[in-house]
Amino acid sequence: MDMLNVKINGISVSVPKGSTILDAARMAGVEIPTLCFMKEKNEIGACRICVVEANEGRGFRIVTACVYPVTEGMEVLTNTEKIQKARRTTLELILSVHNKNCLSCVRSTNCELQKLCRDYGVDSTAFEGFKPVYEIDDSTPHLVRDNNKCVLCRRCVAACNEQYVGVIGANNRGIDTAIGTPFEVGLANVPCISCGQCTVVCPTGALVEKDDTDKVWEALADPNKHVVVQTAPSIRATLGECFGMPIGTNVEGKMVAALRRLGFDKVFDTDFAADLTIVEEANELVERIKNGGTLPMITSCSPGWVKFCEYYYPDMLDHLSTCKSPQQMAGAVIKTYYADKMGIDPKDIVSVSVMPCTAKKFEIGRDDQSAAGVPDVDIAITTRELSRMIMRAGIHFDWLPDEEFDSPLGEDTGAAVIFGATGGVMEAALRTANDWLTGKDNTEIDFNAVRGTQGLKEAAVNINGSDIKVAVASGAAAAKCVMDMMKNGNPHGWTFVEIMGCPGGCVNGGGQPIQPQYVRDTVDIKAKRAKALYDQDASMPLRKSHESPVIKALYSEWYDGFGGHKAHHDLHTSYVPRKKYTK
């Protein structure tokens, strides 16, 4: 590899040819501030926050570090008086058209613009004049878009384009430029898949999940309601970040303790429903293989992916498993089996879910999601919303003892835990399908070929003497690749396909803790979070979904065996083709 020698603030560093000044500075241990930059996704030099002084033998001049390539012998100064003044002026210009209600903004203390202004001593607007006012778009159940807080960094546009969807972009020109939808219709009227990837990259509060915590507080305060909560597999690996813990810390026990202190009547683990999903999906896959059903079968756990398929591949919906997602299966069981056991009217149960995904807010309102005649899940909140509830309640999260989920709907297997990582659903399903198709209790259950954070993975798994070809995709762009190949005759011969709507799976969902962009650029967040789940799986005594005593009891006492009519009624759903644009 060709290397170049440069100096960053007098520090010599050797960097690969083709590196930018920003790359070189990071290698030298210097962090140049950025606002619009996203590594390999949004390298446009638009915000001008990353300006530095660079000398290539012709004297120092101001350049943008994120896009300017280094040359042999280049000298770079990142914090001169001139540079600090330039950055300060840029921040003052941004603030001149920015809604500065920081005290009530959900991103306060975790806002990249706020931090930059604090770092550079910018606390007032030096420029007065035209200030556009935008209507807030809250037309969707999952998202609020407030252009009054937008800094035109276009990171949301890059994230939406990376997801292939591309329903937002820069409209108009000059001072009238604004990020919006085609023809400025509401987000509810465009083919947004509700993935929320725009919210985790937005540096300010311009794009945030729709906050439903007041609904939860209201339910908890109602003495006539029995309020239960379920937490998705990935939440235990991410919630700690909201309280300053290292990325990838498993905080399952403290999370349960915090939920009890918030006042929930029961704290359940969505993992039991992940085990249930695997049993139902594996049964459906085996039935399709034996009876000539539509193949490849595609998982249906990710509501963002399901919505993507309904919008962009409506003629291929028969490939989707009819299984509800774990969130919805848990809700269905809570309002049928659990309600019956406890003697509670399902109408008096408020079922709350804590999810990594903003699309879950959309999912709870879908048709055919009401096993007991009432919604399976009443309120879906994100990891971020839960953290805010814990903070509002004055709970010292890091002081809490570890507590266990309530039984019996809090018991699970390792197969359920790994649901939160891309490839986890596939691996869990293969563990069960392998046992069922071979009639054996197989001990080799780690399917490493489907692990990893790549967007698309393929494997051939030998089960009962036959190679079953599978694929795993995460992110809508990878999903598009898979669907296009299937439309072209499935040349790879896949039998089973896992698709998750967010890159890396649920650990990188649109409702997960927001990390500064420089962390997202330099740390493999997806891998660290996924490792926490795989480590827990490896340590558990039961690692196959069909071995769960809760699942066995559920099918014995309530569903009368696998594949029965009652299970199909409660745990399966349907899909609808969707129009891409509406008025």
* pLDDT 10s digits, 338-367: 999 999 999 999 999 999 999 999 999 999
SS3 283: helix
| CB contact at 8 A, 417 and 233 | yes
Neighbours of 4 (CB within 10 A): 18
Nearest to 476 by CA among 311, 260, 317: 311
| pLDDT at residue 195 in the model | 98
Q: How far apart are CA 152 and CA 47, in angstroms?
A: 8
pLDDT (0 to 100) of residue 228: 98
Helix (H) or strand (E) holding 406, with range, is none
Q: Which amino acid is at 214?
A: D
**Whole-structure pTM value:** 0.96
pLDDT of 500 > 80? The answer is yes
Neighbours of 261 (CB within 10 A): 15
Mean pLDDT of the chain, nearest integer = 95
Would you say residue 233 has pLDDT above 70? yes
H or E stretch at 537: helix 525-539
- What distance in Å separates the CA atoms of residue 581 and residue 583, rounded to the nearest whole number? 7
Secondary structure of residue 63 in the 3-state scheme: strand
pLDDT tier, 580 (very low <50, low <70, confident <90, very high otherwise): confident
- Residue written as tokens 């800094």? 151
Q: Coil, helix or strand for 213?
A: helix
More confident residue, 168 or 444: 168
Q: Do strands 456-463 and 75-77 pair parallel, antiparallel, or not at all (unpaired)?
A: unpaired
Give burial (CB, 10 Å; 0-12/13-18/19+) of 524.
middle
Q: Can you read off the two tokens belonging to residue 363?
A: 């999912």
- Residue 263, amino acid: G
- Does residue 123 surpass a pLDDT of 90? no
**Which are the contacts of 10, defined by CB distance < 8 A and separation ≥ 6?**
none
Instruction: Give a three-class secondary structure readout of 75-140.
Output: EEECCCHHHHHHHHHHHHHHHCCCCCCHHHCCCCCCCHHHHHHHHCCCCCCCCCCCCCCCCCECCC
Sign of CA dihedral 347, 354, 158, 102: positive
Distance CA 421, CA 232 (A): 12
Sign of CA dihedral 20, 23, 27, 29: positive
Q: What is the pLDDT of residues 422-457, one digit of tens each?
A: 999 999 999 998 898 889 999 989 999 999 999 999
Could you tell me where the DSSP H helices lie in 334-440? 339-342, 359-363, 383-392, 414-417, 424-438
For the chain, domains (ranges, CATH) are: 3-79 (3.10.20.740), 94-209 (3.30.70.20), 214-571 (3.40.50.1780)
Q: Where are the beta strands (DSSP E) in 306-406?
A: 349-355, 379-382
304: Cβ contacts below 8 Å, ≥ 6 apart: 193, 194, 195, 196, 357, 359, 476, 500, 501, 502, 510
* Single-letter amino acid code for the residue at 477: A
Range 213-218 average pLDDT: 98
Average pLDDT over residues 316-334: 98
List alpha helices for 418-492, DSSP H.
Answer: 424-438, 476-487
State the pairing for strand pair 297-298/349-355: unpaired
35-53 burial, b for 16+ CB within 10 Å, e for fewer? bbbbbebbbbbbbbbbbbb
Contact, 262 vs 390, CB < 8 A? yes
Q: Of 124 and 97, which is predicted with more confidence? A: 97
Number of Cβ atoms within 10 Å of the Cβ of 527: 16
Q: Is the pLDDT of residue 125 over 80?
A: no
What pLDDT does residue 583 have?
Answer: 62
Contact 533, 234 (CB under 8 A): yes
Find the Cα–Cα–Cα–Cα dihedral 506, 508, 513, 517, rounded to 10°.
-170
